[in-house]
C-alpha cells in the first residue's frame, strides 16, 4: 500500500495494491501491520455503510466527545470528500482537504479524530464504507455548515444540494464547538 499525506499531513490518501485480471480484482482494504507502518495506528470498533443519490451532501459531521477516526472507501460511484481540521491547537485549524474518491480508483482516505467530515455525491448514486475508531454517539454529534464562507469549500455541485434537516442547521466554523 502507498500512504500519501495530503496538504493537511494528518489526512492520508491510501492507494492499495490492486490485483486484477479477467475474473475481477482483489486488494486488501485493511491490514493492521501495513497501516501501522504507514503511520496509521488505529483500532476500529464500528463499520458503517451509506448509499446516497446524486446531489446529496452529507456533512460536515463530527463528534465532540468520542471523536471518530474514519477510514473512508467508496465501493460504488463517485463522491467529492471533504475533511476540515477543527483542532484549535493545530497549525491547520480551519483548513480543509477536498478530493474525489471513486470505486474505480480503489483509493481510501484516512480522516483522523479531530476533523469534520462530509461528502457530496457526483455519480447517479454512491455507496461508502466507513471504518470508525469510536462508536456513534448521537448526543455528541455536531455539524458544521457545509457552505460556510469562512471555510470556502469549492463543492463541485450543480445547484443546491439535497440536505438533511440536521445538515441544513449546521453551525458556522466560528460558532461551532471545536476541539482544544
Contact 101, 74 (CB under 8 A): yes
pLDDT at 158 over 90: no
> What is the residue whose three cell numbers read 460556510?
148
What are the φ and ψ backbone dihedral angles of 97, each rounded to 5 degrees? -125, 130
> What is the residue whose three cell numbers read 495506528?
41
Query: Catalytic annotation on 49?
Result: no
Considering 61, 62, 106, 117, which one is annotated as catalytic? 61
Percent of the chain with pLDDT over 70: 100
Q: What domains appear along the chain, each with residue ranges and CATH number? A: 2-168 (2.60.120.10)
- Mean pLDDT, to the nearest integer, of 38-62? 97
pLDDT at 155 over 90: yes
Considering 49, 62, 130, 135, which one is annotated as catalytic? 130
**pLDDT by residue (tens digit) across 105-149?**
999 999 999 999 999 999 999 999 999 999 999 999 999 999 999
> What is the residue whose three cell numbers read 455541485?
157
Query: Catalytic annotation on 130?
Result: yes
Amino acid at each position: 500500500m502507498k500512504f500519501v499525506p495530503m496538504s493537511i499531513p494528518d489526512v492520508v490518501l491510501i492507494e492499495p495494491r490492486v490485483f486484477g485480471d479477467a475474473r475481477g480484482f482483489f486488494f486488501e482494504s485493511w491490514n493492521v501491520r501495513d497501516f501501522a507502518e504507514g503511520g496509521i495506528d488505529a483500532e476500529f470498533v464500528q463499520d458503517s455503510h451509506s448509499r446516497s443519490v446524486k446531489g446529496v451532501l452529507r456533512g460536515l459531521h463530527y463528534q465532540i466527545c468520542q471523536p471518530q477516526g474514519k477510514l473512508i472507501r467508496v465501493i460504488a460511484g463517485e463522491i467529492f470528500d471533504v475533511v476540515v481540521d477543527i483542532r484549535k491547537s493545530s497549525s491547520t485549524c480551519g483548513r480543509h482537504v477536498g478530493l474525489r474518491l471513486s470505486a474505480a480508483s480503489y483509493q481510501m482516505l484516512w480522516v483522523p479524530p479531530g476533523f469534520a467530515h462530509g461528502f457530496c455525491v457526483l455519480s447517479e448514486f454512491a455507496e461508502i464504507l466507513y471504518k470508525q475508531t469510536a462508536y456513534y454517539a448521537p448526543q455528541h454529534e455536531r455539524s458544521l455548515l457545509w457552505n460556510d464562507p469562512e471555510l470556502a469549500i469549492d463543492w463541485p455541485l450543480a445547484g443546491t444540494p439535497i440536505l438533511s434537516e440536521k445538515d441544513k442547521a449546521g453551525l458556522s466554523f466560528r460558532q461551532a464547538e471545536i476541539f482544544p
